[in-house]
Amino acid sequence: MSERQAVQVAEARGRPMLHWVGKRPLDYVTAFPAQLVETFNPTGENLPSPDFGGGAGGGGLLFHGDNKDVLAWLLTHGYRGKVNLIYIDPPFDSGADYVRRVQLRGVRTPELEGEAHSLGEQIQYTDIWANDMYLQFIYERLLLLKELLTEDGSIYLHCDWRKSHHLRCLMDEVFGAESFRNEISRVKCNPKNYTQGSFGNQHDTVLFYSKGDAPAWSRPFLERSDDEILEDFPRTAPDGRKYKTAPLHAPGVRSGETGHPWRGIMPPAGNHWRYVHATLDELDVQGLIEWSDTGNPRKVIYADESEGKFLQDVWSDVKDVGGSEYPTQKSETLLRRIILASSEPDDLVLDCFVGSGTTVAVAQKLGRRWIAADINKGAIQTTSKRLQAIICEQLEVQRQAQPALPGVEPETGSPILAPCSLSFSVYRVNDYDLQVQHNEAVNLAVELIGIERTKTDTFFDGTLGKRLAKIVPFNHPLTPLDLQLLQDELKARPDEERDVVVVCLGKEIAADGWLEGYNKHRPINRIEVVELRTDQKYGKFFVHQPARAQVKVERRDGQIVVEVEDFISPTIVERLDMDTPLFKAQIPDWRAMVDVVLIDTAYDGQVFNIALSDVPEKKDDLVAGRYELPAPEGETTVAVKIVDMLGEEVLVTETV
């Protein structure tokens, strides 16, 4: 698709309907083109265009961009009614900045104990919404997600106490109240959250809805620990098997066979037999009835033949992953439970708020196809790195054929399923590939200048003294159009008399003329500009300098030899507040700054096809830095992509 298209969206017809300030229907959305930017395909399997519309094969799809744009793109490319399961963990309207914890690799020297080696926290997204924008944001995406679901598909929405009541109303409106299946309470932490005047908050919520009347469903059971087996199955058979017994009767009087004597025995008064007489005879022949001295029969249930306890709607065993670089990263146990319950092998699973990638990591392990999206580039990099490691492990399992696939993990008893694919592609929809993350840059500017943030204003970022403050996105210089939008906003606020300070990184010459004409006859709402590169007071604001690498590439004895000789990230140096000589003295190994090294031995200048992926297994492990790969025939362009610990990428190419 070379041009953007309009995608029609069906209106919500469910009841009841929730109303909010600014609610508007989503009649259609614009579908922008998607650009293939990276592939991981270690086996060389066929990677057809993603236009296959959810058909089998083709590898996973990882999208970088606003998920509204991504969902629109999927609807124009054959995925309408093709997604079997959706899990989303969207922002919770928590009023907080969500961060990724970042630190250097392998730095444990005495001089750098404590904060010295830590890069602190990198803002991934801001969960701050004005008025009812949050509800409109979720509403639009739910409408699109419904269009993608199969008739027997299901959606799980993860939220907490802040908006769960509103979101359930939204789900009723979009999917219909009759499609509600469960409100799952997940115990997220130990009982330690106590607030004056209220009970401690210990759980969050997963809303489970289906699209049709008969969703795909595999009844989930809880796995028992050894101690629980001993407690639930207290008896031991002669062969050593643990078992328990259960009554063969149930309350209620029946007039049929189950209400008549069996072998001369009647069930207790007011009860009936659970089974017809023929079934009772068969159970007795199989040795599955235990007779007491008084002749009272009870059914024998062996622990190793019991599927376990049927899972209820309170989950206390799937807490978030502690100590992760993503504080809100969900447990794989949580996603395994959901995926096994509401999908089958080869089904298509979608998560458009993928974060650290847990949903698609579990889908890959369970033999499901998957699609993932996130607006944050750090999330895309983390998910890609995680999937590369999983696929490499799956390839090793296949190579050793131990255990044979499918099978079970020896430690957990969980299923090991053959993957649908051993590859994935990364696409960018629209263009969110900015060198400086806007959220983090705004945070730095606010701290430097002293702006007091305002969480309830949809246009202004806060106040500076008695003035309103507006921060222009740092991916472009201030333009007359930015200033015109500011003037239009002020016109819409006739009672607003405060002056305005505009913060920007760079400024077009034409903006000065616009400002001069605007301020000339303005007793109120005057506009002052703080340009962070040149302002005398704030001129020391961090100006982004790209990371740099020295890479040597040679063709030698039929091999491509790549050696990364040096790497420096001025951003990391700035974050650690070190000058370069001191930095190198304290951290002499450049690999401490590097998260991943990727190599493409036949780079075409557009799509990066990963031929080698150096993803250290542990956080303290370092990349190798030197690599040998089979050389393609004839002249080729070798591309080396180095991703630092803050997610910045350096691409070095060499023709050999």
What mean pLDDT is predicted for residues 606-626? 90
Q: Does residue 338 register a pLDDT over 90?
A: yes
Tokens encoding 22: 């600014």
Q: Cα–chain-centroid distance for residue 365?
A: 16
Which tens digits make up the pLDDT trace of 202-217? 889 999 999 999 999 9
Phi first, then psi, for residue 301 (nearest 5°) are -125, 115
Q: Strand locations in 128-197, DSSP E?
A: 149-159, 180-187
Residue 451: which residues within 8 A CB-CB, separation 6 or more? 445, 461, 462, 463, 464, 469, 471, 503
Q: Does residue 537 register a pLDDT over 90?
A: no
pLDDT given at position 254: 86
pLDDT given at position 109: 41
pLDDT given at position 125: 53
Do you find a cis peptide bond into 345, omega within 30 degrees of 0? no
Which tens digits make up the pLDDT trace of 177-188? 999 999 999 987
Q: Does residue 586 register a pLDDT over 60?
A: yes
Identity (one letter) of the amino acid at 94?
Answer: S
Separation CA 8–CA 366 (nearest Å): 34
What mean pLDDT is predicted for residues 522-537? 86
Q: How confident is the model at residue 441 (pLDDT cuts 50, 70, 90)?
A: low
Cβ(547)–Cβ(594) below 8 Å = no
Q: Does residue 54 register a pLDDT over 70?
A: no
Pairing of strands 180-187, 289-291: unpaired
Tokens encoding 339: 């995926």
For the chain, give the mean pLDDT.
Answer: 83
Name the more confident of 50 and 478: 478
Q: Does residue 413 register a pLDDT over 70?
A: no
Q: Does residue 625 register a pLDDT over 90?
A: yes
Choice among 146-150, 435-439, 607-611 with the minimum mean pLDDT: 435-439
Which tens digits make up the pLDDT trace of 277-317? 999 999 999 999 999 887 789 999 998 887 777 888 998 87
Q: How confident is the model at residue 160 (pLDDT cuts 50, 70, 90)?
A: confident
Separation CA 145–CA 436 (nearest Å): 30
Separation CA 319–CA 271 (nearest Å): 42
Of 77, 62, 127, 66, nearest to 98 by C-alpha is 127
What mean pLDDT is predicted for residues 574-589? 65
Which tens digits make up the pLDDT trace of 492-514? 999 999 999 999 888 888 899 99
Q: How confident is the model at residue 484 (pLDDT cuts 50, 70, 90)?
A: very high
pLDDT given at position 433: 43
Choice among 9-23, 39-53, 141-155, 452-466 with the minimum mean pLDDT: 39-53
Of 421, 424, 360, nearest to 394 by C-alpha is 421
Burial class (CB in 10 A: 0-12, 13-18, 19+), 581: exposed
pLDDT given at position 190: 61
pLDDT given at position 300: 93
pLDDT given at position 571: 76
